[in-house]
Structure 1
Amino acid sequence: MVIIRFVLPLHDHTIKKLLLIFWEIVPKTTADGKLMQEMILVCDAYRKDLQHPNEFIRGSTLRFLCKLKEPELLEPLLPAIRACLDHRHSYVRRNAVLAIFTIYRNFEFLIPDAPELIANFLESEQDMSCKRNAFVMLLHAEQERALAYLASRLDSVHGFGDILQLVIVELIYKVCHANPSERSRFIRTVYGLLNAGSAAVRYEAAGTLVTLSAAPAAITAAAACYIDLIVKESDNNVKLIVLGRLSALRRGGGEAAARALPDLAMDVLRVLASSDLDVRQQTLALALELVSSRHAEELVQVLRKEAARAGSADHDDANKYRQLLVRAMHKAALKFPEVAGSVAPALLDMVEEGAEPAAADVMAFTREALAAFPDLRPSLYQKLLEVVPAIKVGKIARSALWLLAEFADTAERAAATLDVLAQAIPTPNGNDNKDKEESEPAKPDTAPPRQLVTSDGTYASQSAFNLPAASSGGAGGGAGSPLGGLAHALVSGEPFTASCACSALCKVALKLDARAATRALHLTAALLAAHKKEATATTGLTADDLEHAALCLRAASSPPHVVREALTESSRTALTQLLQERASQLDSKEEDDSEEEKSVPVEAGISFAALAGAGAATQHHDMFELSLSKALEGRAAGASEEKGKLSKVTQLTGFSDPVYAECIVAVNQYDIVLDVLVVNQTDDTLQNCTVELATLGDLRLVERPPAVVLAPRDFATIKAHVKVASTENGIIFGNIVYEVTGASMDRGVVVLNDIHIDIVDYIQPASCSDADFRQMWAEFEWENKVSVNTNITDLREYLQHLLASTNMKCLTPDKALSGQCGFMAANMYARSIFGEDALANLSVEQPLHRTGPVAGHVRIRAKSQGMALSLGDKINMMHKAPAQKAPPTIPAA
């Protein structure tokens, strides 16, 4: 009454708005459920506000009435609400429609003629927001009236506002799915909305069109609309969403999409004009999925131009973008071998000095192309010979040297490779070919001086005596510097590069005659001498490098048959197996990603109801068998689901506590739902029994669980929702608070056990290339090293237990893990639902006699500290859990 007497008469708009919130939440009934007498005065105030000359007060009051649940308060206000439909201001009219809609939906008996009233209002209304609200009401209250209104205005839909067009698209979708015969009536309207002015309308119309029609023309029109949206929208999130819809259309469009979409592959490449790397990555993946052999050559040409343009760009992601383009051309060449001839030289031109990330991918493509395309091998090998002298990065140089030595299948190629290495390796005489040196005339030791003008205008003389000492033996490597290009990588680079060059020289020597082989051995010795000369206290060949070089010299000079076979044949066999393994992994990944292919047992029968038999008894028996099988399948599915739920039950209190509680933790993407069962184990009634929760970690409680009243020995279920923000272990804790009815009104508290949120619920097995794994391993700054502490004695069994416990995927091929050598090294990878990457490397060994447990360590690297620590904690907990029986083989990456 204090509020009614002193606050309700005020005319301030802010006070009136606060009053509406107050009247919404204040109890309006007595303890026995009857309406308070004071609310009659409040209802009269509502009526006056509905007739107020200010449109804001009228409209806000109408919005408030949508939240009232007492029909006794609403009934006297209906004449005033109806009168608001004729108000001059659209704000009042559209809120009046919403109020009538809500009252009709909750209390239909109060206003049974609401659909007719709103239909008449819609016929005469001009404001689009009012028409939209009225149409929404008819759509949900009486769909036939909405359909009749739309049918009478099909030709003018394109002139409606976007908010009304969105509702019309929704109506067409519902009607056509409920009654497929109506599709031909409305599909032309949906086609017209593909050209609407609003991007939201075009997006919804395209999605509706592909659900209404599977014709190639419809799929082409919807896909073209999606592409136009991606190109014109500036928001990168919108681009990614629409790209996802376009990719889903390709996968789920069936045969019609397979025929219609390849023609739009080149249009998709227009999206590459975006500057966001994620958008470009998804665009390239989608274009490769869509393109056919007819457009493959054109696709490659566009990618080559983009790579050239990205090479001259100076933004931060230019190198990564070039890497994406290289991988796209790599996949295009493997998918369409006819374009490999134009892709290979273009990629090798991009190697340059090999400093950017794309160079490693170029080498990977060159390796696969040399092995897979024998027809292109001569030209590709010659191109590789041309670019190798300019490579100065050791990692890229090692790959190039291995390829040159491995694919030197003829004596001419081996001799050409030897000449390239001779130009890069300095020899004591300045040249390794003495015959050539003797045939050349002696060069003068001095050069004629030339006059130079200094900065102050005076003359200065310069001759060969005061020039910097030139490198001997052509070690410039074509770079124009004393140690440029390949010479820099071999002599001044890391020692492992020189060791790999010794291996390449050894392999080349085995493919040449005795004289040329001797030349290769001299080059190997010269390379070792140059490294010894350049060595310092911190640089130079290590003991392992020297031992490796010595083995190469011995193998090249007088190799046994088994050594020659290992160097010339076994490496090619291993490469073939590796490429086959990668191809099978790619095929299996595509099968997993495809939603069209569904596995069906080979022996599964197909039941045709029309062919069940002539007799009624036979038909009845078949239908009984079908119903029984369906019932058993449903029961089995329900049992497995219940078993999965029961496995996640967490006991929160003890059995002797006054209130017993347990919960089921369900993780769904970014939400955690706690289904808490609360049981009153006393003979008293518990009032205001509340589960009070708090979180530790990157968790946030969405809303406080409501209080309940528990009768003696009664139980109730309470749900709580928790939001997750990142991938790390979280803890939910709290207590149960209750009041015991009686004179004393005792208050009790039961402390709950902690609920630990498992990181495995957020990470999923994923695959990545070796190059990406190495790049992420070098970039991620957080590392966690976990020592292996287990009672498992078998290496493969421990790996299986680790994969099952951490939900990671083994990237190391199964063939690389075969054998019994007493130690194992494997790479593992997983990706969280938040897009975070987790890398792990397992290095374990068995005792000498294989009688004790496995020993070693697991190194984890992640971009965030919480991810690395949480995964390490999970592995430590895994060591305490018993290992399950390992399957016979490790699934391929």
Structure 2
Amino acid sequence: MSDSGYTLIYEPNTASKTSVSEFKNLLEKGKDDVKVDTMKKILITMLNGDPLPDLLMHIIRFVMPSKNKELKKLLYHYWEVCPKLDSNGKMRQEMILVCNAIQRDLQHPNEYIRGNTLRYLTKLKEAELLETLVPNVRQCLEHRHAYVRKNAVFALYSIYKVSDHLCPDCDELIYKFLIDESDSVCKRNAFVCLGDLNRDAALQFIQDNILMIESLDPLLQLAFIEFIKKDSIKFTQLKSQYAQLITELIENSSSNVVIYEAANTLTVLTSNPKSILLAGNKFVELATKEADNNVKIITLERINDLHKQYPGILHDLSLEILRVLSSQDLDVKKKALDVTLQFMTTRNVEDVVKLLKKELQSTALSNDDKNSEYRQLLINSIHQLAIKFSEVAANVIDLLLDSIGDLNSSAAYEVVIFVKEVVEKFPDLRQPILKRLISALPFVKSGKVFRGALWIIGEYNLEEQIIQESWKYIRSSIGEVPIVLSELKSKEPKEENGEHETEHKKKGPTVLPDGTYATETALTTETTTTEKDDDKPPIRKQILAGDFYLGAVLSSTLVKLILRLQKLEITPKILNALKAEALLIMVSILRLGESNLVSKKIDEDSADRILSYIKILNDEEDKIEIETSFLEDTKEAFKTQINAAESKKQEEITNELHKNAEQIDDSIQFRQLDNDNTTSKNIDDLNITSNEKKEDLSSRLNKIIQLTGFSDPIYAEAFVKVHQYDIVLDVLLVNQTTDTLRNLSVEFATLGDLKLVDKPTTANVGPHGFYKVQTTIKVTSADTGVIFGNIVYDGHHSDESTIVILNDVHVDIMDYIKPATCSENQFRKMWNEFEWENKITIKSPIQSLKIYLEELMKGTNMNCLTPGAIIGEECQFLSANLYSRSTFGEDALANLCIEKQTDGPIIGHVRIRSKGQGLALSLGDRVASISRKAKKPALLKV
């Protein structure tokens, strides 16, 4: 049996070693503090492979008699690793003196010295030494202090494990100790040992205490649970009895830790629906009672796992889980909502929706960031429920549209997206929802929300009455047209009404005869401006503020409404009047965009769109094609998008179900025929897959980097191993000279968000010798990093040294960037918030747009968020959004816009946005390198 070391100590310099004679001198003549330092050096040397057998007697003579507590601790470390056998394999004579010292410490009046000595005995594996110490350990079982007794139990158990003949009645002794003991820690230790030594005695003790199990100390209750876990694997016939015992523990224990462990164990012991429901209830109680947010998330995750394993049993817990929403932490609330949505059925959906509606109403009073994010979570949850269960959709929409004016723009836009999906999926609800939407629009404050609402009005208005109501609202929300003329008129002072009335009613600044503005107080100006803005109709206000995209969407809606009325064959007189009004509104928006009344001129895209709509209204020739494209094609595109998202979601649910389901053609395992118990599941590792992928050793060769040249006196190469938050460099050094390289050290430095954790040790390398060093570098962000350094060793003279410069090691950021997904709304929100943008111009010889996109996704580890239906293979243009996330939680967004020229390269640009500069620049470099990839020339001639 080889000697075992129990302590790991870092050695800063292996080249400078102290001789045995120096150690002896220091131990003989030094004071206690010098002896402490010397003992530390001795332990370091021994743990690094040099046993120093000649020092044993000196340590016995000069260190053992000391009463210094630190020195005594180091001495026990030394007894663990010192060589106890001579060259013939027999016990060294000096160990008799050590045994005597240990015996004295086992009888020491100080209980902590006794306890520390007993702890050492658990690490001693030599039966000859332990034999003389057994009586003293047995006496310690009866010591007055609990610290001694609890360590004595483990010491006795360890002695029995080394050689059972040293203490043949160990299990009886511990059983008697367990019955007589009053201290909870001692009882726990004793039961843990007894469970391993004598299963029948442990079962007997549980049976004796079964009536008062709820009054036992939680530590002992946990020990019972641990024993039951292990025993139920070997003796499955006892599972039902164990399940009853665990159930009693769950129902009566006052300790949350015991309840959690017991509930976990119960779910493995039995699949009885009643027991699973009890465990689920206890997990919910813990999630609501415990103050620690981590505990809440862990227990909620456990409930989710139980639901996947036993679908349908925990459905009644949905309202109980939502009690967790009283927590202040947003992550806990999100987890609770995610878990609850998995439990929804037609029986409980209405109750859950009522509760979510109350929560939404309670958050309307506050507009801070946390509350607005929580509102979005609630709206998203209600959205999912309404899409899944049509019976609650109408009721929910009324609430959301009522509160649309109180929500911020992001949450209000979520409501509009929700309404879009509902009117598409449930045709019966379209007309009442449209009426409700029109009545809610006057309270909307965001142009983005107006755009979504106008699209819904244009696409799903099928009845003449509702079309007329929509037209009335649009007309009133634009105000007087032409807009330019009415705005100029409102700014002119109304002198005809008298001087007094002008003072109170005129709006805008006062202009003096010389063309300058009259002086006004800040209060007056602010009030006047606010009043003026508040008086303007909502859509007009948005367009005056420069939102001409809304103007283009409004024009599109007007065209759709007129085309719809044409289909309904209303009287030509009314239709022509509405056409004229629509043309006046569109021309008015165009003129406003070119006037000086707006700070930002109309963009070319919006102007072109509005002009095309004006032409369409005047075009009578292509009537059928126009009607098809406006009234059917856009709706079909949206329907396809919804179906694609739904099928993707259904695919995820199916995959999840297959993961947790047992296949009908799986092989049946018979426990009775399984000698090795390989079919038994380890309860602690239920969620850990046993078949982990082994690393392909040949792939490691790709990660070896040459650090020096072949002609250098020392050759170095490094294997770079990337972990989640650090990089390990394994460096191999080869001495290519015939001399010994003394005090050789490798020095590394870093550039970027990298931090050197440890410094490689110094060593002497013999002629043509090999030496391996390892260093760890901490990574804090997915930024481009560089590791550089050199090798230094002493020359022939003491005052000179040789330096070999190493090649740079560039950290590949792709090891830290993983593809991720997010919703369109989240993508847009992050795109607006992130301040760092890197725009890369593309000119690539790759022949296909789709191939280029695939190359880009592969090279940058980004995921394409644009649905596949939008990316056409035959089209010469491609636009897509991409998203990835680093292991450090950094988000990276990219927008790709490219065009395939006829018989030419792909041109365009990629815009990358991130919160920090480093990630945007690093990904930009990767994109640039992908664009530079040229098609390999064909081999024409050899």
| TM-score of the two chains, using structure 1 as the length reference | 0.80
Counterpart of 2:313 in 1: which secondary structure?
Answer: helix
Distance 2:79 2:146 in 1: 25
> How do residues 100-119 of structure 1 correspond to structure 2 at under 5 angstroms?
100-105=156-161, 111=167, 113-119=169-175
Aligned to 1:582: 645
Change over 3 Å in CA distance of 1:555–1:219 after alignment to 2: same
Letter in 2 for 1:99: A
Distance 1:736 1:139 in 2: 56
- After superposing the two structures, state which structure 1 stretch, 304-313 or 868-877, moved more: 868-877
Distance 1:68 1:786 in 2: 66
Aligned to 1:489: 542
Give the deviation of 1:428 after TM superposition: 4.7
Distance 2:594 2:737 in 1: 87
- Out of 802, 816, 826, the position equivalent to 1:772 is 826
- After superposing the two structures, state which structure 1 stretch, 221-230 or 146-155, moved more: 146-155
Distance 2:164 2:734 in 1: 39
Aligned to 2:475: 422
Matched, 1:190 2:246: yes
Letter in 2 for 1:518: A
Distance 1:168 1:216 in 2: 24
Change over 3 Å in CA distance of 1:103–1:708 after alignment to 2: farther
Aligned to 2:267: 210
Counterpart of 2:133 in 1: which secondary structure?
Answer: helix
Change over 3 Å in CA distance of 1:198–1:493 after alignment to 2: farther
Distance 1:66 1:724 in 2: 39
Matched, 1:171 2:232: no
Change over 3 Å in CA distance of 1:552–1:728 after alignment to 2: same
Counterpart of 1:827 in 2: which secondary structure?
Answer: strand
Give the deviation of 1:818 after TM superposition: 0.5
Change over 3 Å in CA distance of 1:327–1:385 after alignment to 2: same
- After superposing the two structures, state which structure 1 stretch, 111-120 or 161-170, moved more: 111-120
Counterpart of 1:855 in 2: which secondary structure?
Answer: strand
Distance 2:91 2:793 in 1: 29
Give the deviation of 1:345 after TM superposition: 1.4
Distance 1:883 1:834 in 2: 35
Distance 2:780 2:606 in 1: 49
Aligned to 2:631: 568
Distance 1:661 1:68 in 2: 42
Q: Is the 8 A contact 2:727 2:777 kept in 1?
A: yes
Aligned to 2:850: 796
Letter in 2 for 1:397: F
- After superposing the two structures, state which structure 1 stretch, 688-697 or 38-47, moved more: 688-697
Give the deviation of 1:164 after TM superposition: 2.2
Q: Is the 8 A contact 2:744 2:793 kept in 1?
A: yes
Distance 1:681 1:70 in 2: 46
Letter in 2 for 1:540: K
Letter in 2 for 1:125: E
Counterpart of 1:828 in 2: which secondary structure?
Answer: strand
- After superposing the two structures, state which structure 1 stretch, 422-431 or 163-172, moved more: 422-431
Give the deviation of 1:304 after TM superposition: 0.6
> How do residues 379-390 of structure 1 correspond to structure 2 at under 5 angstroms?
379-390=432-443
Letter in 2 for 1:248: D
Q: Deviations over 1:632-682 (max 9, x none)?
A: xxxx99999555556556667777889988776565655667778889999
Give the deviation of 1:56 after TM superposition: 1.9
Give the deviation of 1:381 after TM superposition: 0.1
Q: Deviations over 1:417-462 (max 9, x none)?
A: 1111111223259999xxxxxxxxxxx9999x9xxxxxxxxxxx98
Aligned to 1:236: 293
| TM-score of the two chains, using structure 2 as the length reference | 0.76
Aligned to 1:362: 415
Give the deviation of 1:186 after TM superposition: 0.9
Counterpart of 1:146 in 2: which secondary structure?
Answer: helix
Counterpart of 1:824 in 2: which secondary structure?
Answer: strand
Change over 3 Å in CA distance of 1:354–1:163 after alignment to 2: closer
> How do residues 674-693 of structure 1 correspond to structure 2 at under 5 angstroms?
none
Give the root-mean-square deviation of aligned CA atoms: 4.5
Distance 2:715 2:547 in 1: 67
- Out of 371, 377, 382, the position equivalent to 1:329 is 382
- After superposing the two structures, state which structure 1 stretch, 708-717 or 24-33, moved more: 708-717
Q: Is the 8 A contact 2:476 2:537 kept in 1?
A: no
Change over 3 Å in CA distance of 1:153–1:762 after alignment to 2: farther
Change over 3 Å in CA distance of 1:784–1:129 after alignment to 2: farther
Matched, 1:520 2:572: no
Letter in 2 for 1:60: N
Letter in 2 for 1:520: A
Aligned to 1:466: 504
> How do residues 210-289 of structure 1 correspond to structure 2 at under 5 angstroms?
210-251=267-308, 253=309, 257-289=310-342
Counterpart of 2:885 in 1: which secondary structure?
Answer: strand
Distance 1:823 1:428 in 2: 39
Letter in 2 for 1:546: A
Change over 3 Å in CA distance of 1:710–1:544 after alignment to 2: closer
Change over 3 Å in CA distance of 1:783–1:91 after alignment to 2: farther
Distance 1:736 1:181 in 2: 65
Distance 1:47 1:11 in 2: 16
Give the deviation of 1:127 after TM superposition: 1.0
Change over 3 Å in CA distance of 1:258–1:858 after alignment to 2: same
Q: Is the 8 A contact 2:533 2:541 kept in 1?
A: no
Aligned to 1:552: 613
Letter in 2 for 1:273: S
- After superposing the two structures, state which structure 1 stretch, 126-135 or 516-525, moved more: 516-525
Letter in 2 for 1:138: L
Q: Is the 8 A contact 1:105 1:141 kept in 2?
A: no
Q: Is the 8 A contact 1:426 1:530 kept in 2?
A: no
Change over 3 Å in CA distance of 1:22–1:296 after alignment to 2: same
Matched, 1:137 2:193: yes
Give the deviation of 1:735 after TM superposition: 8.1
- Out of 903, 927, 930, the position equivalent to 1:850 is 903
Distance 2:802 2:167 in 1: 49
Aligned to 1:440: none
Q: Is the 8 A contact 1:392 1:484 kept in 2?
A: no
Aligned to 2:216: 160
Aligned to 1:505: 558
Distance 2:373 2:503 in 1: 46
Change over 3 Å in CA distance of 1:687–1:247 after alignment to 2: farther
Q: Is the 8 A contact 2:546 2:600 kept in 1?
A: no
- Out of 844, 863, 867, the position equivalent to 2:915 is 863
> How do residues 15-164 of structure 1 correspond to structure 2 at under 5 angstroms?
16-17=72-73, 19-20=75-76, 41-68=97-124, 74-105=130-161, 111=167, 113-164=169-220
Give the deviation of 1:53 after TM superposition: 1.1
Matched, 1:352 2:414: no
Counterpart of 1:376 in 2: which secondary structure?
Answer: helix
Matched, 1:824 2:887: no
* Structure 2 unmatched ranges of 5 or more: 1-26, 29-34, 36-58, 486-493, 509-528, 566-574, 671-690, 937-942
Q: Is the 8 A contact 2:160 2:170 kept in 1?
A: yes
Distance 2:803 2:101 in 1: 44
Distance 1:515 1:104 in 2: 103
Aligned to 2:427: 374
Distance 2:667 2:723 in 1: 36
Give the deviation of 1:389 after TM superposition: 2.0
* Structure 1 unmatched ranges of 5 or more: 433-443, 450-460, 471-475, 611-635, 885-893
Q: Is the 8 A contact 1:84 1:93 kept in 2?
A: yes
Higher RCO structure, 1 or 2 (CA under 8 Å, sep 6+): 2
> How do residues 557-706 of structure 1 correspond to structure 2 at under 5 angstroms?
557-559=618-620, 560-561=622-623, 562-594=625-657, 596=659, 641-642=696-697, 669-670=724-725
Counterpart of 1:785 in 2: which secondary structure?
Answer: strand
Letter in 2 for 1:170: E
Distance 1:78 1:734 in 2: 57
Q: Deviations over 1:541-561 (max 9, x none)?
A: 234433322222221233522
Counterpart of 1:859 in 2: which secondary structure?
Answer: strand
- Out of 316, 320, 326, the position equivalent to 2:369 is 316
Counterpart of 2:480 in 1: which secondary structure?
Answer: coil
Give the deviation of 1:342 after TM superposition: 0.8
Give the deviation of 1:845 after TM superposition: 2.7
Change over 3 Å in CA distance of 1:141–1:858 after alignment to 2: farther
